[in-house]
Amino acid sequence: MKKMILPLDGMTEDEALNIINSINWNKSNVRNEIWGFKINDLLTDCGVNIIRKIKSRGFKVMADPKLYDIPNTMTNSIRKLLNAGSDIITVHCMADYDPIELTAPYLAGVTILTSMKPENFERYGLINSINLKDKFNIPALVRNMTNIIDFKDYGYVVCSPMEVEKLSKFPIKKICPGIRPEWYQEKDDQERTMTPKNAVKAGADLLVIGRPILKSDNIIEAIKRTNEEIYSK
């Protein structure tokens, strides 16, 4: 099964399509080593047409707007993203959105962002005010959120690899950002990270891997190297 999702963040449409084309046309057939691409801020620049352009090149698309709004507004957005060809659409679990029609299998519930750590909750008094420091923790929150969206038949949950093992009882597919290959040593804003191999061992189905690959001098070689790491014994 293809595990890697490449996020096309912080770039123009031309830059994103150039990366996609370089992967698509590479003679080593590296395109078969990735699931597809995640788009977030490109939706702001290009609208849903960027989804159609990526799909026309034969790749799957994870649309990542992280929707959080009243149900009617979310439904309208989800319909437009699905009509454009999205394979996965992210919504915040905290929106408590009930899927309509046949949309549930395409939805990925976002739990706690990988940039967050326990201090974020203490800062807003969320732990001290309820005096539940032993129970009020990120793994517990992620597990509770997953329970809610699994009951609603969402197709996916998005969580850091640090919590994915705690979700083994849920049949829902797990998408993990915050993946950092062993060969990538730079520190960034991701707090709860793990290597791709360990994340898969913990139960991740899909891995969102951005900067280690897309900021490398040779994207093709970085994809190969990461894929080899995932499946190494």
Q: How far apart are CA 195 and CA 220, in angstroms?
A: 19
Q: Is 210 exposed, middle or buried (0-12, 13-18, 19+ CB in 10 A)?
A: buried
Separation between Cα atoms, residue 30 and residue 196, nearest integer Å? 17
Question: Which residue in 184, 180, 209, 155 sits closest to 35, CA to CA?
Answer: 209
State the SS3 of 122-190. HHCCCCCCCCCCCCCCHHHHHHHHHHHHHHCCCCEEECCHHHHHHHCCCCCEEEECCECCCCCCCCCCC
Q: What pLDDT shows up at residue 40?
A: 97
Is CATH 3.40.50.720 correct for 4-230?
no
Cβ atoms < 10 Å from Cβ of 224: 15
Please check the confidence at residue 132 and state whether its pLDDT lies above 90. no
Rg of the chain taking only CA atoms, in angstroms: 18
Q: What share of the chain is helix, strand, coil (3-state, %, to 5)?
A: 40, 15, 40
User: Which one of the listed residues 2, 60, 66, 166 is annotated catalytic?
Assistant: 66
Counting every residue written for the chain, the total comes to 233
pLDDT band of 129, cuts 50, 70, 90? very low
- Residue 66 known to be catalytic: yes
Query: Hey, what are 221's tokens?
Result: 């070689």
User: What is the pLDDT at residue 191?
Assistant: 62
pLDDT (tens digit, 9 = 90+) per residue, 181-233?
887 766 665 667 789 999 999 999 999 999 899 989 999 999 999 999 998 87
- For residue range 67-81, what is the model confidence (pLDDT) as tens digits? 999 999 999 999 999
pTM comes to: 0.90
H or E element at residue 107: strand 107-110
pLDDT at site 114: 74
27-31, 116-120, 127-131, 151-155: range with highest mean pLDDT: 151-155
Sign of the CA dihedral 120, 168, 187, 23?
negative
pLDDT digits (tens, 9 = 90+) for 41-92: 999 999 999 999 999 999 999 999 999 999 999 999 999 999 999 999 999 9
- Residue 134 is predicted with a pLDDT of 47
Q: Smallest Cα–Cα separation from 160: which of 115, 123, 118?
A: 115
**11 — phi, psi (to 5°)?**
-140, 165
Alpha carbon 77 to chain centroid distance? Answer: 18
CA distance 88 to 78: 10
Other beta carbons within 10 angstroms of residue 27's beta carbon come to 6
